[in-house]
Amino acid sequence: MGLRFLVTGGAGFVGSAVIRHLIADTVHVVANVDKLTYAGNLDSLAEVASSDRYSFHKLDICNQESMARLLSDFQPDIVMHLAAESHVDRSIDGPAAFIQTNIVGTYSLLESARAYWQTLDGSRKANFRFHHVSTDEVYGDLEGAESLFTEETPYAPSSPYSATKASSDHLVRAWQRTYGLPVVITNCSNNYGPYHFPEKLIPHIILNAIQGKPLPVYGNGGQIRDWLYVEDHARALVEVATRGRVGETYNIGGHNEKRNLEVVETLCTLLDELAVDERPTTLKSYKELITFVNDRPGHDQRYAIDASKIQRELGWVPRETFDSGIRKTVEWYLINRPWWQRVLSGDYQLARLGAADLATATVKKD
């Protein structure tokens, strides 16, 4: 008998990877809660949508009444909270949505989950977990070339996005200390891989390149990030949700520090190999499309994760190196053109029209 996972933000990049992993590789049952904002894409769940262990519910986590009803009906063992606004540039242009979703939404979900948890008895109450999924950006900018973010690194967020995620982390810890809600928190490094929304760096570069468009790089491209393959992250999240210690934080990283310019140049080299027939005849390499643009305000220069705690306690290590993961990613985008073409055209959003019917679907009990 599997556990019952309620996953918020399950139509997003990381959430959909978690759900695909849960359905394909475990016996657990999943309820996917997603508001279907611009970044929510049900196409990313097509391969698991017909499973009798999966259900979708178009709900806003800020609606405590609706969430309370679903929690009562579905009876989850684990609430995995991934619903969030996550694009830094968008947070700079319009921070209000980030405050609403990342702070108010997390508060509302915590209250719904706490009320549900208090109805449980015995082992079900003792074994319940609220797993909050966060980011390494809450730690701010690293100093020096050797320092790493640990679970004890003080918070110093730089952008409206990271500030709202830091706030949500603090709320989750407060609900554990004040009310006893059994929580775990994870902070991850930059994810990449299949089904990544095209506004993010790696898919944006891939798709611009094969369309012959400029490849924008902020500043001089010297910003350093630790890159984590999304399917490795999905495995880590399930390990923490099912085996992590209550009240603990686990940092999840890919052990792959790369400068942004190095990432873009690697993508160009792979595309020169894998998509040479699509390269404009006027170019000898996709690298000729690289264009340096004004840097982002408040841009952090280096993030790097110390993931030794999750390895030591739970035995998790990433399976993909950056070289293997980035090749898989480029190959996926070249093969799965209908997925990203529907995103670029906006057709993927047509799924919202039928989502109201899906939201009222019978909750699968077993």
Enzyme catalytic residues? 136-137, 161
The token pair that represents 169 in the structure block: 């982390």
Angle at 191 between CA 189 and CA 193, to 5 degrees: 160
Q: Is 255 left (phi over 0), alpha (psi -120 to 50) or beta?
A: left
Q: Which of 207, 361, 226, 345 is nearest to 286 (CA)?
A: 207
Gap between the Cα atoms of 94 and 201, Å rounded: 19
Quickly count: other Cβ atoms within 10 Å of residue 257's Cβ: 19
Residues pairing with 131 in the sheet: 80, 184
Alpha helices, DSSP H only, in 144-189? 160-179
The token pair that represents 253 in the structure block: 């990283």
Q: Which of 17, 15, 81 is nearest to 329 (CA)?
A: 17
Q: Which of 191, 194, 224 is nearest to 206 (CA)?
A: 194
**Whats the size of the chain, residue-wise?**
366
Phi then psi dihedrals of residue 4, to 5 deg: -110, 110
